């Protein structure tokens, strides 16, 4: 059976949702394009063992919308999209599957650029790139975007710390890093070098042991995160970690991390604000990875990437100043900034 693409019904405000299936390789993937108003959609490919199609669709659509906002705020000249491959990346993934995924991306004819995300490596993306020129984040080009994501989060975290604590000096600050993948571990390294006291949690024992041995981190169980005393919470695993229950228990004063879609609903940002907790919107602070990928799409270099990292930091400072002056959440301020960009682009 050859690759089969099926357009699925999609919510208003989205442009396209495609189911890609290839029986010979076992591929079953979803590609969602939220917006191409600012340019072709760009966003990573995630591989995850979803419980069912509904869960996968909910994730890919939420992530695609987030990419529109992230790319707009970072000033990349790109729209927002995302893809997910349904399956266990440790067990099911093969080069043939990734090549089939590449053919699915290619069938969209440049409407969507893909790159690596959770469960997908630059090597995996190289297999996809054998079938399409719209696969980026490749070794020898922009490469693994995770160090750039970690650098952007770290810069924004220091700006947030200066706003909340009066200084960006992290010496002695208790920072809990939830998730020690490529980005989380890189961020933990930067925090350690800045003098922070690290608390870490992850579902993989080897990652925890590395952080304990190399960075002197304190380990906490995944289900004990919100029992911990901390100054800063850095969610770097999957999304939806802050809901009504967990946000009410959180003991940090600043939230700044790399995970996408950290809040289960927009109201959580306001709930945090009323408790005196400053939340830095994830789609703003974690844009370093897509900045790196965008440099490959636009064929620019390190200077372009660093200028846009500086731009993210400036926007965070602007958000914080406006949120304080207007007594509103940073999430509302950030969304308004993006929506104005989209309106102006649409009108033009």
- Annotated binding residues for NAD(+), written as ranges, equal 179-184
Output the DSSP codes for 51-97: SSHHHHHHHHHHHHHHHHHHHHHTT-S-EEEEEEEES-TTTT--HHH
Question: How many other CB atoms are found less than 10 A from the CB of residue 205?
Answer: 9
Q: How far is CA 277 from CA 160, 253, 254, 280, 285, in A?
A: 11, 4, 6, 10, 16
Please tell me the distance from the alpha carbon of residue 237 to that of residue 304, in angstroms, as a whole number: 28
Cα–Cα distance between 207 and 185 in angstroms, integer? 8
In contact, 190 and 156? CB cutoff 8 Å = no
- 148-171 burial, b at 16+ Cβ within 10 Å, e below that, comes to bbbbbbbbbbbbbbebbeeeeebe
Phi and psi (nearest 5°) for 62?
-65, -45
Catalytic-labelled residue, pool 70, 82, 93, 190? 82
C-alpha 99/C-alpha 140 separation (Å) is 19
Q: Is 82 a catalytic residue?
A: yes
Strand pairing category for 232-235 and 254-255: parallel
Q: Are 309 and 281 in contact (CB under 8 A)?
A: no
Catalytic residues, which ones? Answer: 82
């Amino acid at each position: 059976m050859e690759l089969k693409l099926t357009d699925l019904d999609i919510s208003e405000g989205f442009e396209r949702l495609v189911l890609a299936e290839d029986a010979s390789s076992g591929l079953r993937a979803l590609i969602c394009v939220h917006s191409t108003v600012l340019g072709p959609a760009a966003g990573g490919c995630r591989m995850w063992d979803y419980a069912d199609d509904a869960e996968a669709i909910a994730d890919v659509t939420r992530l695609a919308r987030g990419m529109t906002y992230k790319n707009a705020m970072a000033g990349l000249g790109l729209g927002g999209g995302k893809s997910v491959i349904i399956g266990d990346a440790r067990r099911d993934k093969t080069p043939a599957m990734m090549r089939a995924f590449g053919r699915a991306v290619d069938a969209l004819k440049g409407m969507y650029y893909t790159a690596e995300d959770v469960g997908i490596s630059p090597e995996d993306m190289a297999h996809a790139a054998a079938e399409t020129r719209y696969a980026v984040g490749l070794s020898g080009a922009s490469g693994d975007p995770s160090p750039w994501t970690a650098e952007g989060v770290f810069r924004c975290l220091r700006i947030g710390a200066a706003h909340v604590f009066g200084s960006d000096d992290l010496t002695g600050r208790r920072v809990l890093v939830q998730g020690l993948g490529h980005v989380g571990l890189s961020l933990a390294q930067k925090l350690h070098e800045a003098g922070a006291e690290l608390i870490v949690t992850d579902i993989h024992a080897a990652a925890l042991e590395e952080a304990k041995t190399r960075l002197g981190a304190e380990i906490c169980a995944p289900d004990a995160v919100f029992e911990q005393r901390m100054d800063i919470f850095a969610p770097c695993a999957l999304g939806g970690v802050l809901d009504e229950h967990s946000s009410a228990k959180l003991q940090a004063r600043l939230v700044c991390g790399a995970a996408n879609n950290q809040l289960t609903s927009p109201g959580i940002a306001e709930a945090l604000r009323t408790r005196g907790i400053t939340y830095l919107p994830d789609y703003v602070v974690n844009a370093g990875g897509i900045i790196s990928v965008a440099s490959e799409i636009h064929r620019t270099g390190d200077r372009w990437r660093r200028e846009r990292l500086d731009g993210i930091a400036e926007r965070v400072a602007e958000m914080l100043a406006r949120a304080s002056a207007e007594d509103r959440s940073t999430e509302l301020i950030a969304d308004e900034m993006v929506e104005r960009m989209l309106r102006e682009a649409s009108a033009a």
